[in-house]
Structure 1
């Protein structure tokens, strides 16, 4: 604000600056007023140092009210010959240090905000004083005399502006004269105090700073700060440096933000330095269920009672592997065990998939607990589209870590059997009352009770309100739909959770046997009536099959083949091998019926094999009867049983040439019958006579 001729004018800086309070108008307001020609611009801006001057009376009334409320009445301020200054916008930008080429301290930092305002005001006052000096010089040159500059008037102007604007320029005339000349010679930089950032004569030189960092990094020996101070002074005397008077100089230097990264890793470890200095990613959580699942193992923070090797009662803890939905924080699946391993992980994720009924898009786990094995990696690739591990040693990258902490504080902490949180937790409430726990050790859960209690606590957590919504975690999860996570079919479950044997097993007369986790299982194939499939046995006994099985439900498997071309092919389902009690006293009526049916079926299979074999012998002329010998009878079968079974199985007639007449088992006329008999040989007739 100033006078331009006889008119009061203001600058754009006066109208839009916000560092001294709410601006009179925004820059957009100013541009709109200029575009609509509602402002009278007396002097347009001409670059740095020459800003536009706006006629104050041309401002709309609402902006004049805001201007006077902020600065006061311009007429009153400019009356009584009060000197006015125009804030130098170029000086403000220089001292702010935001633009390229602007001022920065030697360590790269910017000036404090209060110093930016102080130096900008001082530069603006000096601009007025320089202008007055120039006016005296111009007047002296015009008169062509050597009249000296009247510094008393300039000093008086400076003091008047000190009272009005509270600048901090020197009060002494000589010092003010030096400051003014330095300002004309060096510009804005002459106003910055040399005390900033040790720009004055520092005792710690760059070489001395390197020595301090080296002593702080030293591991052989390890120096304390006091020992670093003493060692530095000892070496400084040898090198004729200035010694340090106080240990605070060492502490202040080593704690400087630009110095600390140079020694932090050597003292506290590289991971600690990484956590302190590396940039952290800020991510947005998923907006849909099943978009991202986290899986991680942790200590189940409840004590239970057990026995040591000597049988003494002791308190124990267990491990739990949890799977959560990142969107809703719902606990989907878990498994409790003594140690975290791949099997716990598999069971937890299976429960999670069965709870969700959908295949998640992405699963994130750590790189521990058997998750590096090929089987585990293959399993994870089957149950989701993307499976990845978090970067090691970055707990803040896993949402499940913070969830564990809140679950412990908000739910498990209410149980007096609580083990406390992680030992790194500093809160007193995060620690257990071991005296009370030990005094009531007989009241601890058994392992089975622990599992039931933990299941209840999980349900309680799922029914609690989500921190970012008014719904429970369960409701939040169930209400959400993810089009990229379709519902699963029974075949999907088989593909995700079923396993296959590494080697094929032979299907024998006693079925097919596999071994899973040290336990043997035997299976056989059944027909539609629920009886052992004799036709399958007839064609596949001694054949080798790979077996696909569900490790959590061994009541049904699939027998598979693996051709040279293509993958595994599922052939037929099989169930547990049918067994009956040996003692008749213990047999049920159903078992007796089943036993008789199997005995009869085995007899029929023997007869069928005998008939098919003899037919083949006749076809190729190698039957014993064709060479004057006899085929032995089936042992263990009476003649009557054999005749009955032959009659049952003699559906196909045999001709001398071995061809079958399946369509006409019996001749349809007497002539045909006689013709058939006449064509028989005696060896063929003797075969039937044996029946």
Structure 2
């Protein structure tokens, strides 16, 4: 039902045919002029028939179908047409939180969104000064009465929440205009008036008890709270109420009960990290007490002087693993009885050495992250083996991506071995090994050496499985991210020391490593000039051909090579012997030449000193400083000095070369004689 031109009550053709009359009956009524069509129908717009022009029997049928209050139904039509879903209202009530932090229930969200849509329609209709107002008699009071009737007509279709009286309806519309969507939320929802704890003082007291470091239970807190409540005339609370508040206030009370570290790891927002896409961009490392038992026999002497042997079976080894999270590749490891700085250094040394096996030369990672164990003593070492050292935050277990890796190794490899010790102490007891059976087979547990082999097999199996992918990803890594390590840098950062200092002697630098004396030297003449220095030696046990030496102040360092040993017997000479001998001779020639040049330069400077300072002529120094070639009175004498020095150096070099040629000829002859059997020619 609706009003035509806001004055005449009408029913549409669609609402009358065929529910009220058939199409043939409608056509007959139209032909007999027993109904009046006020608006002819067209595409999308139904025809409107004047209700009063219809026969009484049809009016009765309409009232039976649509109810007796046809005017109210007609008044609701403009409202229904104006109701449009409000998307902003739907989103607002979907995300709105009550004072306690909870969201509105879905049915409330729907109710408030419908109410906003209806209020929007009411405001639209009220602002229409000709349409709905004319229908309602042309005055404001009539409009609001009409709205009241219209709202009742659509009550079953829209679940709005609006007051029934005109006065309160008008006030609701005004509040909505001023405050918006929030004005529709009932103050009773989430209102703390329904709680037993109402005032700030009460809530603060309860939170204080919930936050207590002794971690009191609900009954204890309720008892303590009620002691205060009784004195201040507050309502008493039950342990159940405390339990509800514990849940509501968990975030603000958790740190007091569990501590800051637990709060950071459990309550605070965590940073989600992804593994690097390429190798060598990021390494992490940690110690793992491997869940493999081994037996150990110790022998002691009792007070009576007797020998006592005891075998125990509970021992476990520790492996420090350097992990590249790119594809969980164990790039380095070291095995020991417990984690310590020496074991950590050994693991990193193994990792850097393994990069040479993988990529052809030593490389260091772009970033290294460790926990703070031994950070004071190891910090300089960590910084020397990486471009960027980033220690993990104290007690930040979430940053250790290596710990889940250890759990996987334990399950994938260790659990399959008979001496498996089980999962951690916090694991489900049903998943642990049978300790009774372990006790029965304890005598078959491996010793320490065999257990080390077990652990190495696990690491090598991991490497074998992931090696090819690791190398492939390395080849895809941009060159600017690759950080090769020179021999000097490697030995300076990773090398071991003898614990003593050494001085250069004529044979070279003689160093004792693991009880064996080795001789090192350098073809850098500057090293010869520093024979007075005390040198600290850094070496790599896996390759003792080269070492690095550093002086006590750290201002001088040299890479030395182990001296080449020439055979005493000419028959044992090989081709490379002559090459190495020539290197030494060439170095000595160059060194002598440098010495002679220094002599020449100094002589010229002293000569000029005496020429320009006649007052020195009668001093004893003149007789000492002027060399055996004569007094230097002019530039001609100086040129003679230079010529004589060069002549002397050439004479020495020629003599040395002649001696070398004779020696080489003799060596060749002796070598040929040693290789030729003359007896077969004599017997021929």
**TM-score, normalised by the number of residues in structure 1:** 0.59
Residue in 1 aligned with 2:206?
212
1:276 lines up with 2:266 in the alignment? yes
Query: Mapping of 1:553-568 within 5 angstroms?
Result: 553=542, 555-556=544-545, 558=547, 560=549, 562=551, 566-568=555-557
Q: Cα offset for 1:336?
A: 0.7
Rounded Cα–Cα distance in structure 2 between residues aligned with 1:160 and 1:663: 125
Aligned residues of 1:560 and 1:572 also touching (Cα < 8 A): no
Structure 1 147/128 Cα, relative in aligned 2: closer, same or farther at 3 Å? closer
Range with bigger deviation, 113-122 or 497-506: 497-506
Q: Cα offset for 1:543?
A: 5.5
Aligned residues of 1:296 and 1:365 also touching (Cα < 8 A): no
Structure 1 208/97 Cα, relative in aligned 2: closer, same or farther at 3 Å? same
Rounded Cα–Cα distance in structure 2 between residues aligned with 1:217 and 1:159: 53
Residue in 2 aligned with 1:335?
334
Task: Choose from 295, 301, 306 the match for 1:305.
Answer: 295
Aligned residues of 1:320 and 1:334 also touching (Cα < 8 A): yes
Q: Cα offset for 1:199?
A: 4.3
Aligned residues of 2:286 and 2:371 also touching (Cα < 8 A): no
Residue in 1 aligned with 2:86?
89
Structure 1 284/3 Cα, relative in aligned 2: closer, same or farther at 3 Å? farther
Range with bigger deviation, 124-133 or 268-277: 124-133
Rounded Cα–Cα distance in structure 2 between residues aligned with 1:662 and 1:145: 130
Rounded Cα–Cα distance in structure 2 between residues aligned with 1:143 and 1:555: 110
1:474 lines up with 2:436 in the alignment? no
Q: Cα offset for 1:249?
A: 1.7
Structure 1 57/502 Cα, relative in aligned 2: closer, same or farther at 3 Å? farther
SS in 1 for 2:156: helix
Task: Choose from 152, 156, 161 the match for 1:163.
Answer: 156
**What per-residue deviation string (whole Å, max 9, x for no partner) do you get for residues 318-345 of structure 1?**
1000011111111112111011112212
SS in 2 for 1:384: coil
1:361 lines up with 2:365 in the alignment? yes
Task: Choose from 190, 198, 201 the match for 2:191.
Answer: 198
Residue in 2 aligned with 1:673?
none
Residue in 2 aligned with 1:106?
99
Structure 1 132/487 Cα, relative in aligned 2: closer, same or farther at 3 Å? closer
Aligned residues of 2:295 and 2:448 also touching (Cα < 8 A): yes
Residue in 1 aligned with 2:175?
186
Residue in 2 aligned with 1:253?
245
Aligned residues of 1:87 and 1:121 also touching (Cα < 8 A): no
Rounded Cα–Cα distance in structure 1 between residues aligned with 2:428 and 2:5: 70
Aligned residues of 1:499 and 1:550 also touching (Cα < 8 A): yes
Structure 1 461/88 Cα, relative in aligned 2: closer, same or farther at 3 Å? same
SS in 1 for 2:313: strand
Q: Cα offset for 1:182?
A: 4.8
Aligned residues of 1:133 and 1:154 also touching (Cα < 8 A): no
Q: Cα offset for 1:137?
A: 9.7
SS in 1 for 2:317: strand
Give the paired residue count.
Answer: 489
SS in 2 for 1:445: coil
Structure 1 511/243 Cα, relative in aligned 2: closer, same or farther at 3 Å? same
Task: Choose from 118, 121, 130 the match for 1:125.
Answer: 118
Aligned residues of 2:136 and 2:143 also touching (Cα < 8 A): no
Greater fraction of residues in helix: 2
Rounded Cα–Cα distance in structure 2 between residues aligned with 1:213 and 1:523: 73
SS in 2 for 1:504: strand
**What per-residue deviation string (whole Å, max 9, x for no partner) do you get for residues 596-645 of structure 1?**
xxxxxxxxxxxxxxxxxxxxxxxx9xxxxxxxxxxxxxxxxxxxxxxxxx
Q: Cα offset for 1:290?
A: 1.2
Q: Cα offset for 1:565?
A: 9.0
SS in 2 for 1:213: helix
Residue in 2 aligned with 1:418?
420
Range with bigger deviation, 408-417 or 269-278: 408-417
Residue in 2 aligned with 1:30?
none
Q: Cα offset for 1:260?
A: 2.2
Rounded Cα–Cα distance in structure 2 between residues aligned with 1:574 and 1:663: 24
Task: Choose from 511, 519, 527 the match for 1:524.
Answer: 519
Rounded Cα–Cα distance in structure 2 between residues aligned with 1:158 and 1:414: 75
Rounded Cα–Cα distance in structure 2 between residues aligned with 1:364 and 1:664: 58
1:324 lines up with 2:323 in the alignment? yes
Range with bigger deviation, 401-410 or 89-98: 89-98
Structure 1 222/564 Cα, relative in aligned 2: closer, same or farther at 3 Å? closer
SS in 2 for 1:372: helix
Aligned residues of 1:87 and 1:124 also touching (Cα < 8 A): yes
Cα root mean square deviation, aligned:
4.9
Structure 1 209/561 Cα, relative in aligned 2: closer, same or farther at 3 Å? closer
1:505 lines up with 2:507 in the alignment? no
Aligned residues of 1:557 and 1:575 also touching (Cα < 8 A): no
Range with bigger deviation, 506-515 or 490-499: 506-515
Structure 1 212/92 Cα, relative in aligned 2: closer, same or farther at 3 Å? same
1:494 lines up with 2:455 in the alignment? no
1:457 lines up with 2:426 in the alignment? no
SS in 2 for 1:297: strand
Q: Cα offset for 1:492?
A: 5.4
**What per-residue deviation string (whole Å, max 9, x for no partner) do you get for residues 89-142 of structure 1?**
2760684376xxxx6532455534543222111232355567778999945996
Residue in 1 aligned with 2:226?
233
Aligned residues of 1:556 and 1:573 also touching (Cα < 8 A): yes
Q: Which runs of 5+ in 1 are unaligned?
A: 7-55, 59-78, 465-472, 529-538, 579-588, 591-619, 621-658, 666-691
Q: Compare relative contact order (CA 8 Å, sep 6+) and give the higher one, 1 or 2.
A: 2
**TM-score, normalised by the number of residues in structure 2:** 0.60
Q: Which runs of 5+ in 2 are unaligned?
A: 7-42, 46-69, 300-308, 573-622, 624-648, 656-684
Aligned residues of 2:329 and 2:470 also touching (Cα < 8 A): yes
Residue in 2 aligned with 1:610?
none
Aligned residues of 2:320 and 2:344 also touching (Cα < 8 A): yes
Residue in 2 aligned with 1:443?
444
**What per-residue deviation string (whole Å, max 9, x for no partner) do you get for residues 274-311 of structure 1?**
12232211223211111111111111121112125641
Query: Mapping of 1:368-387 within 5 angstroms?
Result: 368-373=372-377, 376-387=378-389
Q: Cα offset for 1:212?
A: 0.6
Rounded Cα–Cα distance in structure 2 between residues aligned with 1:554 and 1:191: 81
